[in-house]
Amino acid sequence: MNSVNTKICRFAQHDVIFYEGDMADRVFEIVEGAVMLYKLLPDGRRQVVEMLGPQALFGIPAHGIYDCAAETLVPTVLRSLRRRDLEEQMDLQQHITRCLLSQMERLHDHAVLLGRKSATERVASFLFRFVANRGGVGCTGPGKGEVDEETVRLNMTRQEIADFLGLTIETVSRVFSDMKRRGVICIEKTDQIRINNVCGLCHLTGAH
């Protein structure tokens, strides 16, 4: 999104970028940081529908208003573009298509997670999002002699994780404690977890 009409915006942690129902006049791309998209039910309950990182696009609803709210998880830098300028930028349209197809795949996985997976499978699947190049088609596991562990940094609070997974915060904490007791993970800090057995975590996702 390197157009002359783009604008760089900087947000602090937990700043709201836009609310559900606001006029959707700009499209956003994450330069650095992380953003969560969420919807609020009439009784105040929140469902986090997506977590996005660098190079992801958001704020592209089918109609003229944003269909969800967007909030930063960490200090974040965004690049924004007026929606009406998209029609004049063929390279941007192709970039948007690629990003939307990728997001559609993740949303399909999330629908399965919310509709069919157990609490343990949901938390395991969430953690596995942060493990690069493992678990996909053709994954052969760790290399010979390699230690099968990974340290991941979480940008979300336990409540935000619960809202993303459709669980209570108590259930999320219970599952983390159970995984720690079983030796699958080690909680090094509130926002940092070491996965002691990546293959073991992969099996807990219910994908195999």
What pLDDT sits at residue 189? 83
Q: For the chain, which domains are there?
A: 7-116 (2.60.120.10), 119-204 (1.10.10.10)
* Amino acid code (one letter) for 179: M
Find the mean pLDDT for residues 130-146: 71
Report the greatest alpha carbon distance in the chain. Answer: 56
> Alpha helices, DSSP H only, in 8-118?
90-116
Selected residue with higher pLDDT from 95 and 22: 22
Tell me what pLDDT residue 4 has. Answer: 46
Closest by CA to 207, choosing from 116, 107, 104, is 116
CB 123 within 8 A of CB 207: no
Local structure of 115: helix, strand or coil = helix
Reported as a single tens digit per residue, the pLDDT across 78-100 is 999 888 777 667 677 777 777 77
- The pLDDT of residue 206 is 81
What is the model's pTM?
0.80
Helix H or strand E segment including 181: helix 169-181
For range 167-194, the mean pLDDT? 93
* pLDDT number for residue 97: 77
Secondary structure letter of residue 17 according to DSSP: E
Residue 136 scores a pLDDT above 60: yes
- pLDDT, tens digit, 9 for 90 and up, residues 36-47: 999 999 988 999
pLDDT in tens, 196-205: 989 989 999 8
